[in-house]
Amino acid sequence: MKHYSAFAVAREALRYHTGWERAWRSPEPKKRYDVIIVGAGGHGLATAYYLGKNYGIQNVAIIEKGWLGGGNTGRNTTIIRSNYLQDPSAALYEKARGLYEDLSQELNYNIMFSPRGVMMLAQTQHEIRGYQRTAHANALQGVKTEWIEPERVKELVPIINIDGPRYPVLGALWQERGGTARHDAVAWGYARACSAMGMDIIQKCEVTGVRSENGRVVGVDTTKGAIDCEKLGIVVAGHSGQLAEMAGFRLPLESVALQALVSEPIKPCMDVVVMANTVHGYMSQSDKGEMVIGGGTDGFNNFTQRGSFHHIEETVRALVETFPMISRLKMLRQWGGIVDMTGDRSPILSTTPLGNCFINCGWGTGGFKAIPGSGWGMAQLMATGHSPLTEAFTMDRFKEGRFIDESVAAGVAH
Query: Please, which pLDDT band fits residue 167 given cuts at 50, 70 and 90?
Result: confident
pLDDT tens-digit series, residues 341-360? 999 999 999 999 999 999 99
| The pLDDT of residue 6 is above 80 | no
**Residue 318 CA: distances (Å) to CA of 133, 138, 168, 277:** 26, 29, 13, 10
pLDDT tens-digit series, residues 360-373? 999 988 899 999 99
Query: Please, which pLDDT band fits residue 195 given cuts at 50, 70 and 90?
Result: very high
What is the pTM (predicted TM-score) of this model? 0.91
DSSP label of 160: -
Cβ–Cβ under 8 Å, residues 228 and 33: yes
* Averaged pLDDT score across all residues of the chain: 90
311: enclosing H helix or E strand: helix 309-322
Query: Please, which pLDDT band fits residue 408 given cuts at 50, 70 and 90?
Result: low
Which domains occur in the chain, in start order?
22-82+84-94+184-252+350-410 (3.50.50.60), 118-182+255-342 (3.30.9.10)
> What whole-number distance in Å separates Cα of residue 100 and Cα of residue 94?
10
Higher pLDDT, 24 or 379: 379
DSSP conformation letters of 333-382: EEEEEEEEE-TTS--EEEE-SSBTEEEEE--TT--GGGHHHHHHHHHHHH
Ranking 132-136, 314-318, 323-327 by mean pLDDT, the lowest is 314-318
Return the pLDDT at 155. Answer: 97
- The mean pLDDT of 210-217, rounded to a whole number, is 96
Query: Please, which pLDDT band fits residue 92 given cuts at 50, 70 and 90?
Result: very high
Three-state secondary structure call for residue 413: coil
| The pLDDT of residue 413 is above 60 | no
